[in-house]
Amino acid sequence: MPTKARAHTNIALVKYWGKRDPQLMLPQTDSLSLTLDKFFTDTTVTANGNLKHDRFTINGQVVDDKNAARLASFLDIVRQLAGTDTRFNVQSINHVPTSAGLASSASAFAALAAAASKEAGCHLNRRELSRLARRGSGSATRSVYGGLVEWHRGTSDQTSFAEPIMEHVDFPLEMLAIVIDASQKKISSRTGMQRCVETSPFYPEWRKIVTDDMIKMKTAIDAHDINRIGELAQENALRMHALTLSANPGYTYFEEQTITAMRLVDTLNDNGLPCYYTMDAGPNVKLIYNNKDRQQLIDQLAPVFGKDRLIVAKPGPGVSITQL
Ligand code: 2P0
């Protein structure tokens, strides 16, 4: 009987940028994110004793060998957990408005972990599921939960998992993505973050910054203080991107329009419209603001970037599973 799971992507307000154990996928630091309603992955997994190899399609296309190998080694972990050697047929659909370049390994591996573990006969609680998703992709650890989520870096497989801070966000926090470039990034997160850990002279400082930012961000969330949340997220993102610039060789995910967006947001903020930005391992910019200011913001951004490249997202739910 096939099993289907849906998981939403998340955007970090305090970023994860580096592993201390790439094998177990243990991160260097804690991190904190907001799960979004607009971007999600639906994955259907069917166990099939007759298959010699796992089979994968994404949006109806057969997955290339390199990605299939990564997915199959994740399924090996599921098989080990379930005590089975059955192979799986995996069909994944990414629901992302247009081809926005915002599909992420977070929703992909959270959905795959949920559907495959259930299909293999494991009955995992959400903490166990979060730990399993972590083995596929770090950010997937957090996508098991909805709303505002914290990933405890931990020191072992057992202690590195996410937990919700506020699953149903009861204040008007919202994000707007400015789609700057939808193409594949040149330096993957995995390669990029490892280079920063190994070569940025600022890396030890980053670890201290994140420890502080986690405390400050949780205080701002407790106070429902959207401006403070935005301010802290922006500062944290800039410091993460300073690691890429200070790595050897240095690199950046920013494009010209990324800088244009950052400057525009700063100007709007200076002119009394509170909004803040954050960027991940790519050029797209995500704005953090109070949803009462949405229309005013769109009115300012649309003439510069085009209305079609602005996507509003609200806090979204955690992973859900259906047995078909
Ligand atoms: C984050 N990002 O906290 C950070 C901020 C991007 C920038 O997690 O190697 O796909 O699979 O653990 O999770 C993107 O990296 O990397 C990411 P792996 P992942 O959301």
Q: How many angstroms separate the CA atoms of 27 and 15, rounded?
A: 11
Q: Give, to the nearest 10 degrees, the angle between helix 256-270 and helix 294-305.
A: 140
Cα–Cα nearest to 78, from 42, 124, 41: 124
What is the pLDDT confidence band of residue 100, given thresholds at 50, 70 and 90? low
- Which whole number is the average pLDDT over 94-117? 86
Please give the radius of gyration of the chain, using alpha carbons only, rounded to the nearest integer: 19
For atom 9 of ligand 1, the residue with the nearest CA is: 190
Question: What's the DSSP call for residue 234?
Answer: H
**Domains, the chain:** 3-169 (3.30.230.10), 173-313 (3.30.70.890)
For residue 67, give the 3-state DSSP assignment.
helix
Give residue 184 CA to ligand 1 midpoint distance, Å: 15
pLDDT in tens, 192-209: 999 999 999 999 999 999
Does the CB atom of residue 17 touch ligand 1 within 6 A?
Answer: yes
Does the CB atom of residue 236 touch ligand 1 within 6 A?
Answer: no
Does the CB atom of residue 35 touch ligand 1 within 6 A?
Answer: no
Q: What is the mean pLDDT of the chain?
A: 96
Residue 295 confidence (pLDDT): 98
Q: Which residues face 31 on adjacent strands?
A: 151
Does the CB atom of residue 284 touch ligand 1 within 6 A?
Answer: no
Residue 184 confidence (pLDDT): 66
Residue 12 confidence (pLDDT): 98
Residue 4 · residue 115 · CB < 8 Å: yes
pLDDT in tens, 43-55: 999 999 999 999 9
Does the CB atom of residue 281 touch ligand 1 within 6 A?
Answer: yes
Residue 112 · residue 46 · CB < 8 Å: no
The β-bridge relationship of strands 320-323 and 148-152 is unpaired
Does the CB atom of residue 150 touch ligand 1 within 6 A?
Answer: no
Which of 9, 31, 139 to probe ligand 1 with, by most ligand atoms within 8 A of CB? 139
- Position 188: which residue type? S
115, 124, 231 from 144: Cα distances, Å: 12, 12, 26
Phi and psi at residue 144, to the nearest 5°: -65, -30
Does the CB atom of residue 31 touch ligand 1 within 6 A?
Answer: yes
Does the CB atom of residue 160 touch ligand 1 within 6 A?
Answer: no
Residue 324 confidence (pLDDT): 78
118, 122, 316, 319 from 34: Cα distances, Å: 25, 27, 8, 14
By the 10 Å C-beta count (0-12 exposed, 13-18 middle, 19+ buried), 86 is classed as: middle
Give residue 270 CA to ligand 1 midpoint distance, Å: 31
Q: How many angstroms separate the CA atoms of 118 and 196, rounded?
A: 36
Share of the chain above pLDDT 90, in %: 94
Residue 16 alpha carbon, nearest atom of ligand 1: 3
pLDDT in tens, 260-317: 999 999 999 999 999 999 999 999 999 999 999 999 999 999 999 999 999 999 999 9
What is the pLDDT confidence band of residue 255, given thresholds at 50, 70 and 90? very high
Q: How many angstroms separate the CA atoms of 286 and 11, rounded?
A: 9
Residue 165 · residue 149 · CB < 8 Å: yes
Residue 78 · residue 120 · CB < 8 Å: yes
Length of the chain: 324
User: For the ranges 16-20, 24-28, 123-127, 319-323, which has the lowest average pLDDT?
Assistant: 319-323
Phi and psi at residue 170, to the nearest 5°: -105, 30
- Position 33: which residue type? S
For atom 11 of ligand 1, the residue with the nearest CA is: 137
Does the CB atom of residue 138 touch ligand 1 within 6 A?
Answer: yes
Residue 189 alpha carbon, nearest atom of ligand 1: 15
Give residue 17 CA to ligand 1 midpoint distance, Å: 7
Q: Which residues face 40 on adjacent strands?
A: 8, 95
Residue 99 confidence (pLDDT): 54
Cα–Cα nearest to 15, from 4, 6, 27, 3: 27
For residue 74, give the 3-state DSSP assignment.
helix
- The pLDDT of residue 155 is above 90: yes
Q: How many angstroms separate the CA atoms of 14 and 288, rounded?
A: 13
Residue 186 confidence (pLDDT): 81
Tokens representing 107 are: 């929703």
- The pLDDT of residue 166 is above 80: yes
Does the CB atom of residue 141 touch ligand 1 within 6 A?
Answer: no
Tokens representing 82 are: 């379930």
Does the CB atom of residue 15 touch ligand 1 within 6 A?
Answer: yes
- The pLDDT of residue 104 is above 90: no
